[in-house]
Structure 1
Amino acid sequence: MASQQPRCSSFSSTSRTHPRLSVTMDDSFLSEAKSNQKRKLSQKQKTLLFQFPMGSHLSPWPTYTSGQTILQNRKPCSCDYRNRTSSWQQQSFSTTKPRYLEQLENYLRKELLLLDMGTDSTQELRLQPYREIFEFFIEDFKTYKPLLSSIKNAYEVMLAHQREKIRALEPLKAKLITVNEDCNERILAMRAEERYEISMLKKEKMNLLKLIDKKNEEKISLQSEVTKLRKNLAQEYLHYLSERDARKILIADLNELRYQREDMSLAQSPGIWGEDPVKLTLALKMTRQDLTRTQMELNTMKANFGDVVPRRDFEMQEKTNKDLQEQLDSLKADYEEVRKEHEILLQLHMNTLKERDQFFSELQEIQRTSTPRPDWTKCEDVVAGGPERWQMLAKGKNSDELVDVLLEEIGEGLLREKDFFPGLGYGEAIPPFLRYDGLVENKKPTKKDVVNLLKDAWKERLAEEQKEKFPDFFFNFLERRFGPSDAIAWAYTIFENIKLFRSNEVMSQFYAVLMGKRKESVYVNQTETVAQLLKEMTNADSQNEGLLNMEQFSTILRSTFPLKKEEQIQELMEAGGWHPDSSNADLLNYRSLFTEDKEGQSEPFVQKLWEQYMSEKDEYLQEIKQELGLELRDEVTLPKLRGALMNIDPSMDKQTLSTYMSQAFQLPMSELPEEGDEKEQGILTWLCTALERLQVADIRRMGPREPEPAS
């Protein structure tokens, strides 16, 4: 038994490396182990039989004493009852185990001790002695051999099943450890990068603080210079006041001296005494009048021109004042500019602090929730087809799309392994074509078969009058194609496939229409648009060679899509194979733009048409929201939405407008009130609900928006 342990360990390592080889080796090893076990069991049984043969040693202990322990219906007080009780007690204390049972227990104890002596004994080896004891019982008790054998086989089958499960989970455990290590390394790398970004932000913050300090110093120096200039101006003003007062005093002194000199000259005149007194009196009177008048004029002049300075001084002071005023205005302008810059810097600093706090919180949130960027090259060895197929699948896709591709590859394998699907029941939330109880068979079709089946369904749907709902039509189509007995199985199979393969255009569009996330008219109008474009190109190909030059290709695109911008036309031309450095004379095989591969995937040109249609729809709905000027949780009435649609799309006809209104408010067109009716105000819904309903439908711009008048 101890020699079997290395063999088991080597077998487990082989099963981990080669799954298919492990199955065959496991079967051979189990058969060989069973044969060796039976051989050793027979030898040990012979040895045990030789050591302690059964014969008379097999006793039904402790049941063989049961007959002796049954007491007769005696009175407890009788002597016979006392004697029998004492004899029974003696016999019960003297009862011992059968020899065969003791020998089996000793053998089991011995085997277990031998196993415990080994350092690497496993639970599988510890079960071997119990198996041997059970085999002894099966071989010795012939009557119960079938029952005991079935019990043993049932337990052996269960143990083998559990071993297979354990072996299957060992590679997943190793893969989980590897993925955990990779994730830890990426987390450490992201943390290092984030620490570097934080250090750079701190350095930038310090530089901004230094710049703010420098501006504050400049502001303080300018304030000190302004204070100094004001002080100098006050000193000059006081100096000019003192000069003015001194000038007035000097003029008064000069006038006084002049009067004294005139009096002295009159007194010294020799002929003054020879004049007539009357004449002198009259002259004195007139002189006094002149003096009075002169005094009044002098007072008036003093009152009017007492503060007047000479023109030369005035012009000089005016020039000086003007220069100082210009300097003051310049300093004020500089100060105002510096103040505004300081306020802007403070605002920038506050915004920087807010952004820093926001980035730090976002960084913490990203550290808590995000995962490092995956290394997609690891998927090359996992995806069926190897690196070439993975490169073909991953070409031109971002991380989100690569996750979808990887999930589809994994889901495809799991979907292939399923033989049955569980029924979803008959609830109201369950689609009509999936209402079933019990297990449903998985038909396991290929992607090509599913795509062809969906195309046939679309052809039949477009050919009929579309009276029934699309889910009911889908189930009726399956009944007509596969019969009523297999229709539910095909419904579950196709539903699981189109729900899984979201990157496939045919499956994703069919799933959206089937689940009510998109109207049938979206697919129908898009198909008609592509067919109309192909028809225009075919008409332009007069030689029917399947070739067009780039000028013809551009002209057809502009005539078919007159509302598309120039950038969108350029994107379509590039998707069709045109490059800016190529000439217009290059020929294009336009028929290849509308081909599909075996899985229904269209060419980049048709995919670009679909992408532009979805982006134009989103832009159209955003214009409606901006025109309304409401939040998503606000209510919008029917007149407001109608007015917004007419403002952003004046070329829309009444039929199309009624269709959009019916879709937004979920009302039949016959129940929509006329424009100007009072009932319009009572019809309202949430703006977000209306936009979601319009997103489902086929809405597009009918004409160009009128330009706003120039101011």
Structure 2
Amino acid sequence: MDSSQSRCCSFSSVSRTHPRPSGVTMDGFSISGSKSTQKHTLSQKRKTLPFHFSMGSHLSPWPTHASGQTILQKRKPCSSDDYQRRSGSWQQPLSTAKPRYLEQLENYLRKELLLLDLGTDNSQELRLQPYREIFEFFIEDFKTYKPLLSSIKNAYEVMLAHQREKIRALEPLKAKLVTVNEGCNEKILAMRAEERNELSMLKTEKMHLLKLIDKKNEEKISLQSEVTKLRKNLAEEYLHYLTERDARKILIADLNELRYQREDMTLAQSPEVWGEDPVMLTLALKMARQDLTRAQMELNTMKANFGDVVPRRDFEMQEKTNKDLQEQLDGLKADYEEVRKEHELLLQLHMNTLKERDQFLSELHEIQRTSTPRPDWTKCEDVVAGGPERWQMLAEGKNSDQLVDILLEEIGEGLLREKDFFPGLGFGESIPAFLRFEGPVQNKKPTKKDVVSLLKDVWKERLAGDKKEKFPDFFFSFLERRFGPRDAIAWAYTLFENIKLFRSNEVMSQFYAVLMGKRKESVYINQKELLAYLLKEMTNADSQNEGLITMEQFSTILKNTFPLKKGEHIQELMEIGGWHPNSSNADLLNYRSLFMEDEEGHSEPFVQKLWEQYMDEKDEYLQELKQELGMELRDEVTVYKMRVALMNIDPSLDKQTLRAYLSQAFQLLPSELPEEGNEKEHSIATGLKTAMEQLQAADIKRMGPREQEPAN
């Protein structure tokens, strides 16, 4: 007889020998007694459970104890007939097979779940039904535990029904919440539209007021010039009137003199005068002579006292002249003071310049004394493999520093090929994971072409994967899959030495920077996606599919793809593509040749110029950020200051990109960054130099112009 079935069926006998305690219903709840009695009873049952589940009980201890059971087909497991037929034979040799009853229940559950339609709304209810049936089988077959299992089932059913009622009660609230949310969103959009309209009106009014102010300023200047002119005319008229007044006084005096003379002549001709007394005339003459003497004395006194006095008109003219001269003197004094200060500054600057000149002169003499003559690079033609032709090709357009790098690569390539083994670097923490090895490592000695091809395969598989694995770990996993675990470490050392040596090769240098963590792999990926997008746009413009587009189409594609690039940068790209100032916009361009690469991974000048402009724009962007922060590299910068500086230099940054830049700068997960306005923004800080290095390694670029253009 099946041992598990014998144990299952023996529960009925256990139930007869261990009757259910009084006061407990079929659902397992106490009919009488306090809550403390229930807790005491449950705790006693909980203490007795380990005894019933021991090796000596009637339950099967599978998988440590099982036997070759057989269960009657088309019968309920653990039936009474089966128990009577096979009683006394439940003890079988130990085995590791599952009980047949358990297998049948699992198969039944699996089939029922496969038959369910889980695409409906009540899929979870349907999925729960097979589990209910399995639980019913347990309740029916395990007679001894049927009350306890029934109470457990009923308790869960009551809780499920209660939860369904709560869900039904919350459905209208959910719908209302969605309606309220939509209403709030509409209000927010309306308020934003009103704010934009109001902002536009305010900007228009501002421009109108600025024009009005300019007009008023022009009127003020015109009025000032007119006032100056009127003052000048007033002064001239004043002088004219003074002259007229003096002339009028002279004329009045002359008229009075003439009148007096006429009266004297009239008196002299009057017959009455001849009839006057001579004595009286003599007396009058004497008095007249006395008056004349007195008047002459007064005149002499006046001449003596006021001989040096000038007329009031001359005095006022001199006073005005003196005032003008005083104003000119004050202006000249102020100009003299400014000139004197500038002269002192120029003297100080001259002294500093003299000191710098002397210092530079001494440095020049020292450099002339210690420096070596400029190298003759033509001497390398006979040393480099390939002769003068290959050296001319390598040295074309290179400066001395780049030529030194090329010469070192050529020398290093020869030394690298002579090595048969590399020394293992050990297992230190500073050693990259893919280079941790003790002992000599074989040099596979691949060619540049093989190395570039292998690195491109790594990138292809990386772009096709999920990118969850770190890039160095993925690199070593790729080598294990390609060459096997034995040769993976040898290829890792070989490739690492090659990419570390050939820095002038674009593919190798970019791979080395990403592998060593000096640059994020997103930089390489985004650059490749940008080139693919440019090629796609040019292919779409090529309606004849001949591989040719016009220069005008080429210019339009560049301007649409790079709306933030300066005009001179666009012109540089067009000139590298083949455009000349004297050429026509209708000239054709073979655009596919711009994206070609040779066997060693060297791209065309167009792609190289795109990369150079990208790096220059990133450096310019970070320099603007540093100037906006106004801090030294040794200082610490907080999240708040970095956020404000980024928004000031690039107002078009969206929240997601801003959080990505902050996460990269402070090496935090986006979820660990504090929200805007949180006090934690002022407490999280890092060194400005570290933050700038982290941003330099990431794919950071400007998202919009520095200042927003005013809305029309």
Query: Could you say which TM-score interval applies, normalised by the shorter chain?
Result: 0.5 to 0.7
Correspondence 1:464-479 to 2 at 5 A: 464-479=465-480
Q: In structure 1, what is the equivalent of residue 675 of structure 2?
A: 674
Q: In structure 2, what is the equivalent of residue 215 of structure 1?
A: none
Aligned-partner residue type, residue 640 of structure 1: K
Whether the 8 Å CA contact 2:651–2:708 is kept in 1: the answer is no
Asked if 1:660 corresponds to 2:661, the answer is yes
Correspondence 1:106-185 to 2 at 5 A: none
Cα 1:312/1:668, change in 2 over 3 Å: closer
Distance 2:386 2:587 in 1: 36
Whether the 8 Å CA contact 2:652–2:703 is kept in 1: the answer is yes
Say which SS state the counterpart of residue 549 (structure 2) adopts: strand
Q: In structure 2, what is the equivalent of residue 687 of structure 1?
A: 688
Unaligned runs of 5+ in 2: 1-277
Q: In structure 1, what is the equivalent of residue 448 of structure 2?
A: 447
Correspondence 1:418-433 to 2 at 5 A: 418-433=419-434
Q: In structure 2, what is the equivalent of residue 558 of structure 1?
A: 559
Distance 2:624 2:339 in 1: 42
Distance 1:368 1:667 in 2: 53
Say which SS state the counterpart of residue 518 (structure 2) adopts: coil
Asked if 1:393 corresponds to 2:380, the answer is no
Computed over aligned residues only, the root mean square deviation of the Cα atoms, in angstroms, reads 4.0
Cα 1:703/1:325, change in 2 over 3 Å: closer
Q: CA deviation at 1:352?
A: 2.7
Q: In structure 1, what is the equivalent of residue 509 of structure 2?
A: 508
Cα 1:615/1:336, change in 2 over 3 Å: same
Greater displacement, 683-692 / 526-535: 683-692
Q: In structure 1, what is the equivalent of residue 571 of structure 2?
A: 570
Q: In structure 2, what is the equivalent of residue 376 of structure 1?
A: 377
Q: CA deviation at 1:574?
A: 1.2
Distance 2:672 2:369 in 1: 53
Distance 1:444 1:602 in 2: 24
Aligned-partner residue type, residue 672 of structure 1: L
Whether the 8 Å CA contact 2:442–2:490 is kept in 1: the answer is yes
Q: CA deviation at 1:359?
A: 1.1
Cα 1:421/1:299, change in 2 over 3 Å: farther
Q: In structure 2, what is the equivalent of residue 639 of structure 1?
A: 640
* Total equivalences in the alignment: 430
Greater displacement, 623-632 / 495-504: 623-632
Say which SS state the counterpart of residue 588 (structure 1) adopts: strand
Q: In structure 2, what is the equivalent of residue 583 of structure 1?
A: 584
Cα 1:482/1:301, change in 2 over 3 Å: farther
Q: In structure 1, what is the equivalent of residue 652 of structure 2?
A: 651
Distance 2:387 2:630 in 1: 54
Say which SS state the counterpart of residue 440 (structure 1) adopts: strand
Cα 1:641/1:326, change in 2 over 3 Å: closer
Q: CA deviation at 1:482?
A: 0.6
Distance 1:614 1:336 in 2: 49
Aligned-partner residue type, residue 644 of structure 2: G
Unaligned runs of 5+ in 1: 1-269, 276-282
Aligned-partner residue type, residue 681 of structure 1: H
Q: Deviations over 1:471-505 (max 9, x none)?
A: 11111111111111111111000000000000000
Q: CA deviation at 1:646?
A: 1.0
Aligned-partner residue type, residue 493 of structure 1: T
Cα 1:505/1:347, change in 2 over 3 Å: same
Distance 1:707 1:397 in 2: 41
Q: In structure 2, what is the equivalent of residue 412 of structure 1?
A: 413
Aligned-partner residue type, residue 377 of structure 2: W
Q: CA deviation at 1:678?
A: 1.0
Cα 1:685/1:307, change in 2 over 3 Å: farther
Say which SS state the counterpart of residue 698 (structure 1) adopts: coil
Q: CA deviation at 1:688?
A: 1.2
Distance 2:303 2:629 in 1: 77
Q: Matched residues, percent identical?
A: 82
Distance 1:601 1:551 in 2: 28
Q: In structure 2, what is the equivalent of residue 78 of structure 1?
A: none
Q: In structure 1, what is the equivalent of residue 595 of structure 2?
A: 594
Q: CA deviation at 1:633?
A: 1.4
Q: CA deviation at 1:311?
A: 5.9
Distance 2:648 2:457 in 1: 42
Cα 1:635/1:367, change in 2 over 3 Å: farther
Aligned-partner residue type, residue 363 of structure 1: L
Cα 1:651/1:301, change in 2 over 3 Å: farther
Cα 1:388/1:674, change in 2 over 3 Å: same
Distance 1:645 1:333 in 2: 45
Q: In structure 1, what is the equivalent of residue 151 of structure 2?
A: none
Distance 2:703 2:494 in 1: 40
Say which SS state the counterpart of residue 592 (structure 1) adopts: helix
Say which SS state the counterpart of residue 483 (structure 1) adopts: helix
Q: CA deviation at 1:466?
A: 0.9
Q: In structure 1, what is the equivalent of residue 254 of structure 2?
A: none
Cα 1:328/1:397, change in 2 over 3 Å: same
Q: CA deviation at 1:626?
A: 1.2
Q: CA deviation at 1:335?
A: 7.0
Say which SS state the counterpart of residue 381 (structure 2) adopts: helix
Q: Deviations over 1:374-405 (max 9, x none)?
A: 11111111101110000000011111111111
Q: In structure 2, what is the equivalent of residue 523 of structure 1?
A: 524
Say which SS state the counterpart of residue 422 (structure 2) adopts: strand
Distance 1:686 1:583 in 2: 53
Q: Deviations over 1:97-132 (max 9, x none)?
A: xxxxxxxxxxxxxxxxxxxxxxxxxxxxxxxxxxxx
Distance 1:447 1:548 in 2: 34
Say which SS state the counterpart of residue 548 (structure 1) adopts: strand
Distance 1:420 1:538 in 2: 48
Q: CA deviation at 1:346?
A: 2.6
Say which SS state the counterpart of residue 552 (structure 2) adopts: helix
Q: CA deviation at 1:338?
A: 7.8
Q: In structure 2, what is the equivalent of residue 67 of structure 1?
A: none
Q: CA deviation at 1:423?
A: 0.6
Cα 1:369/1:564, change in 2 over 3 Å: farther
Distance 1:344 1:673 in 2: 50
